[in-house]
Amino acid sequence: MRSSHDLDEAALAALVRRFYAAVREDDRLSPVFAAAVNDWDAHERRLIDFWTSLMLGSGHYRGNPAQMHLRHAGRIQPELFAHWLALWRRCSEHILPPAQAAAVQARAGRIAKHLQRLLAQA
pLDDT at position 108, please? Answer: 96
Q: Between the CA of residue 59 and those of 38, 70, 96, what are the distances in Å?
A: 24, 23, 22
Handedness of CA 95, 99, 101, 107 (dihedral sign): negative
pLDDT digits (tens, 9 = 90+) for 52-72: 999 999 988 887 776 666 666
Q: Which residues of the chain are under the pLDDT cut of 50?
A: 1-4
Domain ranges of the chain: 9-121
Backbone φ and ψ for 45, nearest 5 degrees, come out as -60, -45
- The CATH code that applies to domain 9-121 is 1.10.490.10
Question: Using an 8 Å Cβ cutoff, are 27 and 82 in contact?
Answer: no
pLDDT at position 4, please? Answer: 43
